[in-house]
Amino acid sequence: MEVPAQSTDIQAQFSTWKEEVDNVRSSLRTMRGKLQEIATSPQANNERSMAIEHFQNQFIRQLEVADEMYHDLKQSAKHMGYGNPAIVHHDRPVDDINSLQDRMQVFHKLHNELAGEFHRFESYD
């Protein structure tokens, strides 16, 4: 995916990315609800309980990452829109559009892996 060069294109890209982050948040909430149903089912044994705890922790962490990503996208869009330099976090770079694009790709990859893992677990019933 190529990064747009015009500021209006960049702003549109930020909007698209924020929408994608919101979709991931929604997906995580849905999976968390399904996990709650699994946790309260009669088939919840020790082995499944460990997997349930694993997914609870993964969902919490991925929601935290989604919140960080959304915040960084908002801040970068605001700063780039005003012509100010973007904010730089040492632990999560937001200093340029290419770094954000890379982070979004990793964000999607990790979410897709977690969703796939959860769906395999869910269908194992």
The pLDDT value recorded for residue 96 is 72
* Residue 99 placed within a domain: yes
Would you write out the chain's pLDDT as a tens digit for each of its 125 residues? 444 455 678 888 999 999 999 999 999 999 999 999 999 888 768 888 999 999 999 999 999 999 999 998 988 887 776 655 545 555 555 557 888 899 999 999 999 999 999 999 998 75
Distance CA 119, CA 121 (A): 5
Q: Report residue 116 as tokens.
A: 């796939």
User: What is Dmax (Cα atoms) for the chain?
Assistant: 58
The pLDDT value recorded for residue 84 is 54
Distance CA 21, CA 11 (A): 15
* Residue 63 placed within a domain: yes
The pLDDT value recorded for residue 89 is 56
Q: Report residue 41 as tokens.
A: 């089912």
* Residue 118 placed within a domain: yes
* Residue 21 placed within a domain: yes
* Residue 119 placed within a domain: yes
Q: Are 46 and 80 in contact (CB under 8 A)?
A: no
* Residue 62 placed within a domain: yes
Q: Are 23 and 15 in contact (CB under 8 A)?
A: no
The pLDDT value recorded for residue 95 is 58
* Residue 56 placed within a domain: yes
Q: Are 32 and 115 in contact (CB under 8 A)?
A: no
Range of the structural domain that residue 21 is part of: 7-123
* Residue 1 placed within a domain: no
- Total structural domains in the chain? 1
